[in-house]
Amino acid sequence: MLDDLKQAVCHANRRLVAEGLVTLTWGNVSGISEDRRHMVIKPSGVPYEQLTPDQMVVTNLQGDVLESGLRPSSDTPTHLELYRRFEGIGGIVHTHSRFATVYAQARRPIPCTGTTHADHFDGPIPVTRPLTQDQVANDYEHETGRAIVECLSQQANDPLRLPAVLVAGHAPFTWGTTPAKALDNAVALEAVAEMALHLQRLTGDPIELEPYVLAKHQARKHGPDAYYGQPT
Amino acid sequence: MLDDLKQAVCHANRRLVAEGLVTLTWGNVSGISEDRRHMVIKPSGVPYEQLTPDQMVVTNLQGDVLESGLRPSSDTPTHLELYRRFEGIGGIVHTHSRFATVYAQARRPIPCTGTTHADHFDGPIPVTRPLTQDQVANDYEHETGRAIVECLSQQANDPLRLPAVLVAGHAPFTWGTTPAKALDNAVALEAVAEMALHLQRLTGDPIELEPYVLAKHQARKHGPDAYYGQPT
Amino acid sequence: MLDDLKQAVCHANRRLVAEGLVTLTWGNVSGISEDRRHMVIKPSGVPYEQLTPDQMVVTNLQGDVLESGLRPSSDTPTHLELYRRFEGIGGIVHTHSRFATVYAQARRPIPCTGTTHADHFDGPIPVTRPLTQDQVANDYEHETGRAIVECLSQQANDPLRLPAVLVAGHAPFTWGTTPAKALDNAVALEAVAEMALHLQRLTGDPIELEPYVLAKHQARKHGPDAYYGQPT
Amino acid sequence: MLDDLKQAVCHANRRLVAEGLVTLTWGNVSGISEDRRHMVIKPSGVPYEQLTPDQMVVTNLQGDVLESGLRPSSDTPTHLELYRRFEGIGGIVHTHSRFATVYAQARRPIPCTGTTHADHFDGPIPVTRPLTQDQVANDYEHETGRAIVECLSQQANDPLRLPAVLVAGHAPFTWGTTPAKALDNAVALEAVAEMALHLQRLTGDPIELEPYVLAKHQARKHGPDAYYGQPT
């Protein structure tokens, strides 16, 4: 059951290491089945180099574990909330990648300062509101998902056009139509975070990209007349 | 047809990864045939590790695709404009390498602060003027090429003595007599950008290299009596 | 004798290289036997790639060398002082990892600015008092251990909840229940040091994590009802 | 002739790549024969991965090439001046390693801010005076060597206690009793330069290590009663 998805999720989790996005076990990737009834996610605290597809944990969208003897990632309720609320997404990535995490800890959006950003994200990467003490105590990971959904809803009509968020004091989440594309967005996010940080230290205030250049790069890569990449 | 050039262009594209100059598919290398009638360039959006010489796309200098079933890099019109206007160049590299891109986003020239810079570039690396909304809307990649040519013409008599430019808000382009030498210049550019950034943060204002040391390093490596490297 | 411990200590020393924590021979890992009568530690000045388990040096807790023809790490008296005073610890790691060492040289604690820190360390990483000229002259490495013990005692009830310290002007030490876990903490320390440094440069003053988020992350990973990782 | 030295010099040149100290062909290592009559040095502009011991260039101390059909490094006159004036040294390394070069370009000494520095260098790393236009025009590489010798003579009684210098506007040179030890010092120099730069950005002014800690670290590693490393 769900063999292809387990393979894709396992592969994306292992790619976290190859892309330099994780330290120790600080990151996880999940995917959702086409019928959106099952999620496949990394088991908690297992080193990436040992991961095999059959270790991936299968849950339903309420979080009940259906397969695998292993405990799912502790961030499972956050992933589930995003899948329930963002209908177009097929994969989610959570990392503590260095520079994106610095912005999450600074509780500052990553400004759109160049075309690298514009190719992947339709505007600044927003930061969630902090959770209250009650939210942290009572349903921490689920509340984290709620804060992400609330934050995105205020910023974008389509979560796939702004496929990243910074959880305040914590770290980034990214998503995409597949686990592989969610991972590409995590890679892109870390790169733009690093460049934005260096830029802000060079110039003081960030220099925002012209809105019409942002729109052009979104259109040529993601619009109906996109001409970046090969026709699919 | 153009087998050697396809080999050279493919190899240089794969070297982008080995040199740490690219993330995802953010970069491309092209080369021009000796008779300057054909350009060979990376196909758009194809991962580097899968590239083979026969996938390289051949165009004429008007941009018509003559060979390969694949779509050429979306930056093709920029490359073509440079080949048409800079007669001595044989290869072009475009990357979003981190530190050079930071300077492009900051819209500040990279100052010549040491002999590393002087060995490769005869002065500061200039930044193009921003494109207007019309230019972005109507012929974006071609206009980018025009802005590069205009910028270089104001700074250098010979584009091979200043083989790099920063496109404002975007990223760098470099060139050389061959694709391999264009790539060496991309490597050098990223190194001098990184050092210039660290230097500006250490000292506030950059410290410019003495002009006579710059001239000496240009002469010993590129002048008629060059004594760097092996005789060719 | 102590074959398993020698194996574990040798493996952890070699992992210092794989994790990017050491340059040249600037780091060492030790472990203590279950009966707490013997310590196993890296030999001094031997390159990591040549290390074999039988080269590991065995001492008693007074520092007498019992096995191996090689001289133990020059930091041996520091390790021994920690084993004698911190009863729960089973492994110690010393490195000069870049960013943690910068904080040690700055003689500033690493603030707790995010959940990455909170997952591993129950509060800011403290800095030892400087040693006096007499302490350096007479029993340098032993006095270093004493300064660490004194510093930790003022900050934490349980050294395993705050398993890291910065020795002023020198570099970090970390520990854990095993050599492998001490190494994980050294990896985590370097990551949080790097992020804290970038953060302080972005925001000026550091932004502290909410205490209730720190407490939550400590509890979900290390508390009696921990749900991070797999049940052991 | 000089087979062992050619082997050692070739190996050290290739190690420049493994240690991350060079970009393109920006670095070279040399060694001197025991009778101090011959120098062996890297050929100019040859990629490191292709280097073989028989390609190493042999010169006498006046710089006449005695063996190898290849041209020696363009920095040969600088190396020779150091061998003629610093009698105890057996190997020299020149790199453009990133952070040490930033200090050379900033024309600021690298302060001694911690024990990592103190283990290798007996005080701050000095910067040479700038060369005059005449010196650059007439005998550039030889004058560079003279400026290094002059600078070191003012700072240290024994060049082996302070085995590094920053050439103003250019890059570092290091040395040691053998090519391998000169390379270790180049590795150490880059590490301390990186940490000093981060430190100065964190604290504003650098925090100098206590002189008695510097003296202790020099003594325990290099003094007559050294106890770091294995007895030789």
The answer to whether residue C147 sits within a structural domain is yes
Kindly state whether B216 is in contact with chain D, defined as any CB-CB distance less than 8 angstroms: yes
B163: chain D residues, CB-CB within 8 Å: none
- Contact yes or no for C44 and D230 at CB 8 A: yes
| 3-state helix, strand and coil shares in percent for chain B, rounded to the nearest 5 | 45, 15, 40
State residue A74 phi and psi, 5-degree precision: -65, -15
Mean pLDDT by 10 residues, chain C (232 residues): 95 97 96 97 94 96 90 97 97 98 98 97 97 96 98 92 98 98 98 97 90 95 90 76
pLDDT of residue C170: 98
CA dist A114 and A188 (Å) reads 12
The answer to whether residue A13 sits within a structural domain is yes
- Contact yes or no for D231 and C71 at CB 8 A: yes
Q: A179-203 and B98-106 helices cross at what angle (nearest 10)?
A: 60
State residue D53 phi and psi, 5-degree precision: -55, -35
Whose CA is closest to C99, among B72, D199, D220, A153?
A: D199
The answer to whether residue A163 sits within a structural domain is yes
B187: chain D residues, CB-CB within 8 Å: 23-24
* Annotated active-site residue in A119, A134, A184, A227: A119
Q: Which residue of B has its CA nearest to D196?
A: B202
User: What is the sign, positive or negative, of the torsion defined by CA atoms of C193, C198, C199, C201?
Assistant: positive
pLDDT of residue B142: 97
* Annotated active-site residue in C119, C134, C139, C158: C119
Kindly state whether A231 is in contact with chain B, defined as any CB-CB distance less than 8 angstroms: yes
Pairing of strands C91-95, C65-67: unpaired
- Is residue A212 flagged as an active site residue? no
C130: chain D residues, CB-CB within 8 Å: 210
- Neighbours of B, requiring at least 3 CB pairs below 8 Å, are A, D
**Cα angle value B13/B14/B16 (rounded, 5°):** 70
- State whether residue C59 is helix, strand or coil: strand
Interface probe for D, chosen from C26, C65, C98, C102 (most Cβ of D below 10 Å), is C102
- Contact yes or no for C220 and A140 at CB 8 A: yes
**Lowest-pLDDT range of A222-231, D77-86, D92-101:** A222-231
| Cβ C52 vs Cβ C86: under 8 Å | no
| Cβ C100 vs Cβ C110: under 8 Å | yes
Q: How many residues does chain B have?
A: 232
This complex has an ipTM of 0.95
pLDDT in tens, D36-81: 999 999 999 899 998 999 999 999 999 999 987 899 999 999 999 9
User: Which structural domain, as residue segments, surrounds residue C88?
Assistant: 3-222
Residue D227 makes CB contacts below 8 A (sequence gap 6+) with C44, C71, C74, D220
- Neighbours of A, requiring at least 3 CB pairs below 8 Å, are B, C
Q: What is the DSSP string of chain D?
A: --HHHHHHHHHHHHHHHHTT--STT-EEEEEE-TTSSEEEEPBTT--GGG--GGGSEEEETT--EEE-SSPB-TTHHHHHHHHHH-TT--EEEEE--HHHHHHHHHT--B---SHHHHHH-SSPBPBPPPPPHHHHHHHHHHHHHHHHHHHHHHH-S-TTTS-EEE-TTS-EEEEESSHHHHHHHHHHHHHHHHHHHHHHHHHSS--PPPHHHHHHHHHHHHSTT--SS---
What's the mean per-residue pLDDT of chain D? 96
User: pLDDT band at residue B206, thresholds of 50, 70 and 90?
Assistant: confident
Whose CA is closest to C173, among C30, C43, C12, C56?
A: C30
Question: What is the CATH number for A173?
Answer: 3.40.225.10
The answer to whether residue C201 sits within a structural domain is yes
The answer to whether residue A111 sits within a structural domain is yes
pLDDT greater than 90 at residue A204: no
In this prediction, residues B179-203 reach a mean pLDDT of 97
**Residue pairs spanning A and C at CB distance below 8 A:** 85
Q: Round the CA-based radius of gyration of chain D to a whole number and report it.
A: 17
User: SS3 string of A124-177?
Assistant: CECECCCCCHHHHHHHHHHHHHHHHHHHHHHHCCCCCCCCEEECCCCCEEEEEC
Closest Cβ–Cβ partner in B184, B198, B216 for D24: B184
Closest Cβ–Cβ partner in C184, C195, C231 for A101: C195
Closest Cβ–Cβ partner in A25, A45, A102 for C199: A102
pLDDT of residue B130: 97
* The total number of structural domains that make up chain D: 1
Number of H helices, E strands in chain A: 7, 7
The answer to whether residue A63 sits within a structural domain is yes
pLDDT greater than 90 at residue A105: yes
- Is residue C119 flagged as an active site residue? yes
In this prediction, residues A186-215 reach a mean pLDDT of 94
CA dist D229 and D108 (Å) reads 32
pLDDT of residue D78: 98
Q: What tokens were used for D232?
A: 């030789």
In this prediction, residues D122-147 reach a mean pLDDT of 97
The answer to whether residue A230 sits within a structural domain is no
B21: chain D residues, CB-CB within 8 Å: none
The answer to whether residue C227 sits within a structural domain is no
B103: chain A residues, CB-CB within 8 Å: 202
Kindly state whether D110 is in contact with chain C, defined as any CB-CB distance less than 8 angstroms: no
**Cα angle value B102/B106/B110 (rounded, 5°):** 70
pLDDT of residue A136: 97
**Cα angle value C144/C146/C147 (rounded, 5°):** 65
Residue A65: other Cβ atoms inside 10 A: 15
Closest Cβ–Cβ partner in C74, C103, C170 for D228: C74
Query: Which amino acid type is present at position D7?
Result: Q
Q: D76-85 and D133-155 helices cross at what angle (nearest 10)?
A: 30
Kindly state whether A70 is in contact with chain C, defined as any CB-CB distance less than 8 angstroms: yes
- State whether residue B38 is helix, strand or coil: strand
C202: chain A residues, CB-CB within 8 Å: 102-103, 106, 108, 197, 200-201
Interface probe for A, chosen from B44, B97, B102 (most Cβ of A below 10 Å), is B102
| Cβ A199 vs Cβ A107: under 8 Å | no
pLDDT in tens, B12-52: 999 999 999 999 999 999 999 999 999 999 999 899 998 99
Question: In the sheet that D65-67 helps form, which strands lie side by side, from edge to edge?
Answer: D65-67, D57-60, D38-41, D27-32, D91-95, D172-176, D164-166
Higher-confidence residue of B210 and A206: namely B210
